Amino acid sequence: MHQLPLPHSSAIAHSQQLTAQIIQKIAAHHNQIPFADFMHMALYAPGLGYYHVGNQKLGQYGDFITAPEISPLFSYSLAYYLNTLYTHISASLGAYILEVGAGSGKMALHLLQYLQQQNSLPEKYYILELSPDLQQKQQHLLQQKLPDIYPRIVWLDTLPQNFKGIILANEVLDAMPVHLLSWQANQLQEKYVSYHHPKQSFYFTDGELSHPLLSQKGEYIASLQHHTSPYITEVNLLAESWLASIADCLEAGVCIVIDYGFPEQEYYHPDRNTGTLMCHYQHHSHTDPFFYPGLQDITAHVNFTALANTAVQHAMQVNAFTTQAYFLLGNHLVEFAQQQIATSPSSNIYPISQAVRTLTLAEEMGELFKVLVLSKNITMPAPHFTDLRQHL
Ligand SMILES: C[S@@+](CC[C@H](N)C(=O)[O-])C[C@H]1O[C@@H](n2cnc3c(N)ncnc32)[C@H](O)[C@@H]1O
């Protein structure tokens, strides 16, 4: 079906090892596991899952590219916003930042470089990273590029308790395993993964809902808009419990979530009847989650309304919701680009203006990516960019 590049033999061997583990798990569960369990193993199985091993994931030579990888301009604009927040709230908070899921470490690098120039360095910059491989890459990059700031950077294994400060998560929630719900002849079921031994392939089956919350979610989704069956969509229970634990660990401060996704009305629109599940392999985007488990990223879009509701249920406030374009343009993206151009030889102008386009144009990342600003126990400044909270 796909014309995806064939992995080299050692990568195939690696995928076969993970595949064998998944097959074992499926066999132990009467030949079907919820898709969320399959996705969890494919991405996070110790030593074998996509995020656990030392493959090149992010960037030009990896499988996908994120905003901090496209250009430092993204992180400069975010740092500009953090700086405006600091001047407003740091007296009560002290200056601490916690980045969840820091990828290659480039966002931390450019945020800290900008904050250092502004004399606004945080006392500590914490990183919580599940992937041992990415943690190593982050440490290598930051130690090399920021030797003087490096002692302020601390890697954590779990969320801290009673944290005061700013928590950042860029493209973390889209990498969390999702449950797939399916309506066939108006009957709600869940998608499971089974294994066909003669054909040596995974395939989807339908079954009963595997988690008590899913029937509640299913009823709610069906009540939002009338969709006709067949209809498939995702529910990200982990993203909601992750946000609940962020709210619990945050004594006072801000949490900024940046990711691709929609408010619920758009997420569960009747026309989006095959959901948002996407896979990324060597810059090819496709929809086959069974392609070489462990070698490709599997993602789903984020439901920002569900996150905002979870935040409110856990004593947080929703301070702003906007598109990446509005957020970056409101935080001096163009001015940062102009500064870069002014200090670069003319041959470098094209990639800089191209980065601004990629980050902000509606048909690129500008509209699909959203920014959600949440706070707890502090008074926040009003957003200085277009606020779309009414759409949540
Ligand atoms: C798509 S990458 C994005 C990386 C980076 N933030 C960027 O924008 O380039 C997803 C990152 O989230 C991490 N991750 C996923 N779930 C996580 C969790 N529950 N806690 C901490 N990190 C997580 C992955 O290991 C990876 O670093």
165 found inside a domain: yes
Residue 384 lies in a domain: no
Other Cβ atoms closer than 10 A to 330: 19
Residue 110 near residue 149 (C-beta atoms within 8 A): no
Between CA 129 and CA 153 the distance in angstroms is: 13
Q: Amino acid identity, residue 157?
A: D
On whether residue 2 sits in a domain, the answer given is no
Q: Which residues does the chain have with pLDDT short of 70?
A: 1-2, 90-92, 94, 347
Judge contact between 191 and 144, C-beta under 8 A: no
Looking at the domain assignment, is residue 387 inside a domain?
no
Q: Is 103 in the pocket of ligand 1 (CB under 6 A)?
A: yes
Contact 101, 169 (CB under 8 A): yes
First and final C-alpha spacing in the chain: 37
What pLDDT is stored for residue 378 in this prediction?
93
- Return phi, psi of residue 7, to 5°: -65, 160
Domain of 231 in residue numbering reads as 10-377
SS3 call for 297: strand
* 305, part of any domain: yes
pLDDT for res 261: 98
Q: Can you give the pLDDT at residue 2?
A: 53
Please indicate whether residue 331, judged by its CB atom, sits closer than 6 Å to ligand 1.
no
What does the DSSP 8-state code read for residue 351? H
Mutate which of 137, 159, 172 for ligand 1 pocket (most atoms within 8 A of beta carbon): 172
Q: Which residue has the tokens 């066909």?
A: 196
Q: What is the pLDDT of residue 87?
A: 80
Q: Is 292 left (phi over 0), alpha (psi -120 to 50) or beta?
A: left
Say if 4 falls within a structural domain: no
Ligand 1 geometric centre to CA of 280 (Å):
15
Spatial separation of the C-alpha atoms in residues 153 and 138, rounded to whole Å: 10
pLDDT at 60 (0 to 100): 76
Q: How far is the CA of 171 from the centre of ligand 1 (A)?
A: 6
Tally of domains within the chain: 1
For residue 95, the model assigns a pLDDT of 81
Q: Global pTM?
A: 0.96
CATH code assigned at 310: 3.40.50.12710
Q: Report if residue 137 sits inside a domain.
A: yes
Whether ligand 1 lies within 6 angstroms of the CB of 101 is answered as yes
Residue nearest to atom 12 of ligand 1 (CA): 101
Query: What pLDDT digit, counting tens, does each position of 131-181 carry?
Result: 888 999 999 999 999 999 999 999 999 999 999 999 999 999 999 999 999
| In-domain check, residue 383 | no
